[in-house]
Structure 1
């Protein structure tokens, strides 16, 4: 029998980088700069520390189990099957939708890079591009882990090369032209008001939280632990290494951009904001291509993580067994198909109104950031509903101290999150409830979990009766 190919340590590192670096660093670094001015590069360093604290809790949790599913597996082990199921199914729904959102963004941005204005991209054009992208991702996955690993690694290297090239070019330009970072402080709008306000504690926290979201994605990497070599050993090492690499790249690109032309970064209305910092056509083209590769890469990563979460629940008999079946290339093809349907149908049903459905992904992330640190503390003290992996090396500093710090940081995220903006819309007639967001929340957090719970309960009762 042919031995199953699994992702090695460096492939896990690259997959983690691919899961983190998306469109944000290319398209919207100006938002953080507008809030923090010349301190923007250091805001990203602080955000990296913030992310590493949370990532360490997920890395610590991964050493206590070899199961796939990431937060689902950790919460199920700590709190029991029902709590694990709720986290698993809400994560699956939100991750599927988030994948659809990222795919929609990739298609829309691709059209804009090709010269189409946003209002010229019709529903039909967007849908065709959307489906074509999903078909390509399906083909990449069903061909097997070897092909997926190659495409994932290549897309990760591609986006990193584009960013590193921009950093090196930026350093050369900064040496020749001097430091322009101070120009952002003097920038004013048409009303004569400063675009970048003086830094305050509240402003620092707001900028930090905004920069932190550029580091999210690490929490999904362990969803495919079953397809990784020694995940209980490799994941705890790979995740922090990947975030360190991402932090170095983010710091470098933001610093060089601020040195060269911080005003362009803050005021640009281009699709790929980062490209506007550079005047050279060659550098601009490299960055634009890098942005497209980055968008494609993060979709590749999502196509790996999300179906395996559904498969993990199927292996525990909490959803139909059909989603646990793999093809001849050892890919959970049925789980992939249903995931793609979620990713395609829900964004289409909402007419690609992303604000209405992104809230599901955000809330699911908060749930993970609260429950996983608590689960790790429970693992350390042996107070779990289900058994953990024997021989796991406990560490008070990473398992308890870091988990407590992570809970504090998550409380900060919850406090600074724009709850009002997420559940309301503003128009000329005033502010009203965002019905898209409310309906999405009801579907993702009530209706689907209830249906899945009754399925799992019926399956358990039937097994007991036999």
Structure 2
């Protein structure tokens, strides 16, 4: 039994972080950034990595002060009190559960498309969804040791697929001396205008922000801090290292793809767009397999991290203590089942309309990216509302200037975020309010926090 409860070590934390970040985007839609930035797309990913690394450093700094499950919830609860923690925790949990449901739907739909099945068949999607969730439940029930093994294996699988693709790409470049990267700048749209507009300062910022979303996921890794070895030491080192590795991989894959066939990357209708760049069947199959492994891997990471947010809230009395109960092999089973319920039911209720429900996930990230840097500054100056670890290793540069820079970058994200597009939808040329998004926003950011607050208040009165 002791072996089953072995905690996650440093390199497994690095791999878990990579697993939580690399999802479907780099396989399915790398052309989106290229449409915004043209031949400069590979370098846009480097800029986005710097952007993400600065934000990740704030979360890494916070993990030196607070060592408990919950990540942003735990940091905000310690810095600003239980009400701020409640709001961040419940919105983050709901958003992460929905995001997991979206990712699971993506796995099922992509698998159906690759297998030549109808990916719009609601019955097949639902069956695939339930099968995937059952597999993830079994992996988590077996114990942290096996889950870590599966997570590491899936991470290595997706990294291997990307690495093989990069090496194959460079081999093609060196043997054929092909260089088509500038072709993307000359592409025309249906109106005869350049598909990629000249890159202005505003366009550069927009492209970097678009690429930045390929690096999100790091903010959830500390949710399982209590299941990790020395998280106060390992997390601050693991997060930046993982982002650096991902940055090199993203740069390499986008660079070789654009050198070989940028037109295919921005215009292909294939399910796995990256595969359209390569003519070799073996490379195509490796990329497609890598995409499926990547999607499965990010679901494994979500199945481990997301339930631990509501578990952390239960341990603090914010929600019923039931959700803090663990099995003999350290799975918070009630929290897991609640997370699965939200991940399944909400996408089904929204008729698998991903545009309608991702607004919750996006805004939840903004809440965290604003409050966590402020929490770190609060910890540094000893103004926190609740106790933190004894004698934390303070670092003025990381805790204050870097956190302030993180806050500035987040405000830039907020300013450039396409709010109107999130709350509207165009059908047959007519723009209408996106009722799904509006309902999701009201439910996730107003109704549920109020209900949880009332529950906690009633429990306090009763005691």
TM range (shorter): over 0.9
Aligned to 1:166: 165
**Aligned counterpart, 1:153:** 152
Aligned position for 1:317: 317
What's the CA shift for 1:41?
0.5
Q: Counterpart of 1:276?
A: 276
Partner of 1:267: 267
Deviation at 1:117, TM superposition (A): 4.9
Q: Secondary structure at the match of 2:431?
A: strand
Q: Establish whether residue 109 from structure 1 lines up as the match of residue 114 from structure 2.
A: no
- Equivalent in the alignment of 2:136: 137
Deviations 1:200-249 (A, max 9, x none): 11111111000000000000000010100111111111101100111110
* Deviation of 1:457 (Å): 1.4
CA separation in 2, counterparts of 1:43 and 1:131? 38
> In 2, distance between residues paired with 1:417 and 1:334?
35
Q: Deviations over 1:8-35 (max 9, x none)?
A: 0000000000000000000011010111
Separation in structure 2 between the aligned mates of residue 6 and residue 335 of structure 1, nearest angstrom = 20
Distance in 2 between the 1:60 and 1:73 partners?
13
Alignment match, 1:48: 49
Deviations 1:79-108 (A, max 9, x none): 001110110011001100110011001100
In structure 2, distance between residues paired with 1:107 and 1:90: 26
Give unpaired runs (5+ residues) of structure 2: none
Give the Å deviation of 1:358: 0.5
- The separation in 1 between residues aligned to 2:460 and 2:74, in whole angstroms, is 19
For residues 81-120 of structure 1, the aligned pairs below 5 Å read: 81-118=82-119
Separation in 2, partners of 1:2, 1:110: 37
TM superposition shift of 1:461:
2.5
Instruction: Provide Cα deviations, 1:278-303, integer angstroms capped at 9, x if missing partner.
Output: 00000000000000000000000000
Q: Which moved more, 1:383-392 or 1:54-63?
A: 383-392
Secondary structure, aligned partner of 1:45: helix
Alignment match, 1:328: 328
| Structure 1 position 158, deviation (Å) | 0.2
Correspondence 1:192-211 to 2 at 5 A: 192-211=192-211
Change (3 A) 1:223 1:353: same
Q: Which residue pairs with 1:347 in the alignment?
A: 347
Q: How much has 1:372 moved relative to structure 2? A: 0.3
Q: Distance in 2 between matches of 1:160 and 1:313?
A: 34
Distance in 2 separating the partners of 1:461 and 1:380: 34
Q: How does 1:360-399 map to 2 (within 5 A)?
A: 360-399=360-399
The farther-off stretch of 171-180 and 319-328 is: 171-180
Q: CA deviation at 1:116?
A: 2.9
How far 1:256 sits from its partner (Å)? 0.7
Partner residue, 1:302: 302
| Structure 2: distance between partners of 1:74 and 1:288 | 39
Residue-by-residue CA offset, 1:290-319 (whole Å, 9 max, x unaligned): 000000000000001110011000111111
Residue in 2 aligned with 1:237? 237
- The separation in 2 between residues aligned to 1:253 and 1:347, in whole angstroms, is 31
- 1-structure distance, mates of 2:382, 2:69: 21
Specify every segment of 5 or more residues in structure 1 that has no aligned partner in the other structure, as ranges.
none
Say which SS state the counterpart of residue 327 (structure 2) adopts: coil
Match of 1:420 in 2: 420
Any residues of structure 2 matched to 1:5-24 within 5 Å, and which? 5-24=6-25
**TM-score, structure 1 length as denominator?**
0.98
**Partner SS, residue 431 of structure 1:** strand
Q: Secondary structure at the match of 1:138?
A: helix
Q: Which residue of 2 aligns with 1:124?
A: 123
Instruction: Supply the distance in 2 between the matched residues of 1:204 and 1:367 (Cα, whole angstroms).
Output: 24
Secondary structure of 2:181 counterpart: coil
Q: Determine helix, strand or coil for the equivalent of 1:432.
A: strand
Equivalent residue number for residue 292 of structure 1: 292
CA RMSD of aligned residues (A): 1.0
Measured against aligned partners, the alpha-carbon deviations of 1:331-366 in whole angstroms (never above 9, x if no partner) come to 101110111001001111111011111100111000
**How far 1:191 sits from its partner (Å)?**
2.7
How far residue 462 of structure 1 moved from its aligned partner, in angstroms, is 2.7
| Number of equivalences | 461
Return the alpha-carbon distance in structure 2 between the equivalents of residues 192 and 330 of structure 1.
60
Partner of 1:182: helix, strand, or coil? helix
Deviation of the 1:450 alpha carbon: 0.9
Which residue of the partner structure matches residue 174 of structure 2?
A: 175
Q: Aligned partners of 1:154 and 1:85: how far apart in 2? A: 35
Counterpart-to-counterpart distance in 2, 1:308 and 1:190? 49
Classify the secondary structure of the residue corresponding to 2:191.
Answer: coil
Deviation at 1:448, TM superposition (A): 1.1
Q: Structure 1 residue 430: deviation in Å?
A: 1.6
SS of residue matched to 1:179: coil
